[in-house]
Chain A
Amino acid sequence: AQSVSQHNHHVILSEAASLELGCNYSYGGTVNLFWYVQYPGQHLQLLLKYFSGDPLVKGIKGFEAEFIKSKFSFNLRKPSVQWSDTAEYFCAVNIRGGADGLTFGKGTHLIIQP
């Protein structure tokens, strides 16, 4: 079975700082990778996804992530964060070609200080 680990459970940054949230997965086969965000009081929303092709994917609100197959990683980045980026961020994976459920990491609670 696959698993996902997110290294930082709580991150506090000031506005305009750069962001990188780590995500590693364990699975020997081919996977689809996702980052979801949950803003306070709202439901989970997809930030970006990787299925195949260019390992650098761009999502909404200026976020991007890079899939590094050799490191089993899919880290999320944003060059300059805003106060409105305060939220919970979840990395998730499922097996490519299978219509199975997502395996999520435990999440990273990001707080942006104005």
Chain B
Amino acid sequence: GAGVSQSPRYKVAKRGQDVALRCDPISGHVSLFWYQQALGQGPEFLTYFQNEAQLDKSGLPSDRFFAERPEGSVSTLKIQRTQQEDSAVYLCASSLPPYNEQFFGPGTRLTVL
């Protein structure tokens, strides 16, 4: 497709469950970013990949969160033992260096009950 796609679009999890969120970036885009957007807030940076290398994970809120991009294209954000405070929209974006313009996907809305 022409844009960034994410799946699922909506996810409801019981507290303590593990979830996996998928991002398909724009074909050929080297850089991939994950953000967390809480209700009424701006997106907050979680982590960044260049190809398969995770160059920055400073924004991951706890060791329950980890992300991977094993072949340098599709990425998965995994949250273990979900908590209510993990409820948010998780956004993925991709870009092509040297340009810093990031293209965003529709997001996955995670609700933890």
> Is the CB–CB distance between A101 and B105 below 8 Å?
no
> Is the CB–CB distance between B41 and A106 below 8 Å?
yes
Residue tally, chain A, CB below 8 Å to B: 24
Inter-chain contacts of B90 with A (CB < 8 A): none
Q: Given A99-B97, A104-B42, check contact A43 B35 (CB 8 Å).
A: no
Task: Give the complex CA separation of A4 and B44 in angstroms.
Answer: 11
The answer to whether the Cβ of B91 comes within 8 Å of any Cβ in the partner chain is yes
Task: Give the complex CA separation of A74 and B72 in angstroms.
Answer: 34
Task: Give the complex CA separation of A44 and B102 in angstroms.
Answer: 10
Residue tally, chain B, CB below 8 Å to A: 27
The answer to whether the Cβ of A24 comes within 8 Å of any Cβ in the partner chain is no
Closest Cβ–Cβ distance, residue B69 to chain A (whole Å):
14
Most B CB contacts (10 A, CB to CB) among A32, A44, A45, A106 go to A44
> Is the CB–CB distance between A104 and B97 below 8 Å?
no
B59's nearest neighbour on chain A, judged by CB, is A101
> Is the CB–CB distance between B101 and A99 below 8 Å?
no
Q: Interface of B with A (CB < 8 Å)?
A: 31, 33, 35, 40-46, 48, 50, 55-56, 59, 91, 93, 95, 97, 100-107
What are the 9 tightest A-B residue pairs by CB atom distance, in nearest-first order? A104-B42, A101-B45, A44-B104, A43-B106, A32-B100, A106-B42, A104-B43, A107-B42, A101-B33
